[in-house]
Amino acid sequence: MTPAIRAMGLGKRYELGRTLRRDRTLRESVVESVGELMRTIRRGGAQTDDRELWALRDASFEIAEGEAVGLIGANGAGKSTLLKLLSRVTTPTTGRAEIHGRVGSLLEVGTGFHPDLTGRENVFLNGAILGMRGWEIERKFDEIVAFAEVERFLDTPVKRYSSGMYLRLAFAVAAHLEPEVLLVDEVLAVGDAAFQRKCLGKMGDVAASGRTVVFVSHNMDAVMRLCTRALLLEDGRVAESGPSAVVVAGYLARGGTGAPPAQWIELADAPRRGSGEARFARVRYEIPDEPGRVPRPGGPVRFDIDIESPVAQTVASVAVVLRSQTGVMLLVADIIERGVPMTLAPGRNAIRFDIGALNLTSGTYGVTLWMSHAIGKPIDEVTAFDVEVLDDASRGLGASAGSMVHCPFTVSFPSGSDRAL
């Protein structure tokens, strides 16, 4: 089978402080050049290296036609740069890539939408910008409008739209682009839960219809659901490539979007507040018997915590708190609930929390550690790390987008029973 995308040694170098700067004026540029020249002379003509950044280095890979590939990696690993190169927004410094077929790129929802133009006008403008032909837009116009559910507001300027309507319309145009190769960057991070599901569904359709999809995301759950294969980028290099379940699991085991499991996380520099009578020193989380895996929805998780105390004392409350990305407190495991105060000896003290069922859906959650007396201000409260919860056996599209509480259930269709319809 012919590859849809073939990249050979793709690299992109940014010159820090120079081209990356916005709003450069001629005067600054002259001053900089002179400064650079002086430095070069002083150093005896040596080439500067510290002012360069390789956002992507020597990336070689092939993506077969009809494959859905997820690009994963930490922030700054080069995912977006790679996508920008493939979509030709920017040019590579080295290497070469070939793409077979019509390319549609979606680096942002609503690119080129103009607030003063009406919904109808923006559909045409945005369609043209994304590379659709006029007749194509006309043919799909009704479908786009129906998908976006904005029929009544077609002749209203989009600046009067709610942000939800705006996003729906923007995604609807992009979703009807029908390219042979679709490049998507994290557009699902926006919009309400219902909309995200709609987007995921549409992307699933695109992938299922035999088109090639390259999908950059921090949402491991979405990558697992949508993509057959994943490329892991690290420091601008392709670190791993393979079936998405394997690559995602490997990535998460090394930290991924959160902190790595089964490894001590030092808390000396973590953001904290409190009286400091005692301090959390380090923390580790893991699935008992399965170190190296991240917790699953409804599965067990263990937290091991070391507390540093200068004197012997007793604290009434020590807790592990899990919060959503927006800061909503979701779970609290607190010893005060059990009525067992913790006696601290001078030096290090260990405490272990075993949570039997972590009833959270797939996603990233913030872990906070809390310690206090029965009443009064906290002794120590640390924003410790992020943990990724992932259902590695997920099938179907899942209801997880937006929901956070894991709900185990079974479903059956009892035959012969008097189901009221």
Partner 1 sequence: MSDTPARWTIIEPPSRWPKFALGELWAQRELVYFLTWRDVKVRYKQTLLGVAWAIIQPLATMLVFSLFFGRLAKVPSQGVPYPLFALAALVPWTFFANGLTQSASSVVLSQNLVTKVYFPRLAIPLATVLAGALDFVLAFLLLLVFLIAYRVAPTASWIGIVPFFVLAFAATLGVGLWLAALNVLYRDVRYAVPFLAQLWLFATPIAYPSTLLGEPWRTIYALNPMVAVVDGFRWALLGTPVPSSASVVASCVVAVVLLVSGSLFFRRTEQSFADIV
Residues at the contact surface with partner 1, assessed by CB under 8 A: 10, 14, 19-20, 22-27, 29, 84-103, 105, 107-108, 111-112, 114, 116-117, 121, 124-125, 128-131, 133-134, 136, 157, 178, 180
Amino acid at 200: L
Nearer to partner 1, 59 or 278 (CB): 59
Q: Note whether 337 and 316 are within 8 A (CB).
A: no
Residue with tokens 């601290």: 344
Q: How far is CA 270 from the centre of its chain?
A: 22
d(Cα 420, Cα 42) in Å, to the nearest integer? 88
Question: Could you tell me the two tokens for 82?
Answer: 């790679």
Nearer to partner 1, 122 or 219 (CB): 122
- At its nearest, how many Å lie between partner 1 and the CB of residue 28? 9
- At its nearest, how many Å lie between partner 1 and the CB of residue 91? 5
Q: How far is CA 15 from the centre of its chain?
A: 26
- At its nearest, how many Å lie between partner 1 and the CB of residue 106? 9
Nearer to partner 1, 187 or 389 (CB): 187
Q: Note whether 11 and 47 are within 8 A (CB).
A: no
- At its nearest, how many Å lie between partner 1 and the CB of residue 183? 10
Q: Note whether 282 and 341 are within 8 A (CB).
A: no
State whether residue 359 is helix, strand or coil. coil
Nearer to partner 1, 51 or 88 (CB): 88
Contacts of 365 (CB under 8 A, 6+ apart): 258, 322, 323, 324, 325, 330, 386, 387, 388, 389
d(Cα 418, Cα 180) in Å, to the nearest integer? 49
- At its nearest, how many Å lie between partner 1 and the CB of residue 167? 15
Provide the H-helix boundaries in 2-78.
Answer: 26-42
- At its nearest, how many Å lie between partner 1 and the CB of residue 216? 13
Nearer to partner 1, 36 or 290 (CB): 36
Phi and psi for 293 in degrees, rounded to 5?
Answer: -100, 150
- At its nearest, how many Å lie between partner 1 and the CB of residue 55? 10
Element (H, E) at 169: helix 163-175
**Dihedral sign, Cα of residue 203, residue 394, residue 361, residue 287:** negative
- At its nearest, how many Å lie between partner 1 and the CB of residue 82? 11
Nearer to partner 1, 106 or 281 (CB): 106
Question: Could you tell me the two tokens for 11?
Answer: 């690299």
Nearer to partner 1, 18 or 254 (CB): 18
State whether residue 184 is helix, strand or coil. strand
Nearer to partner 1, 114 or 254 (CB): 114
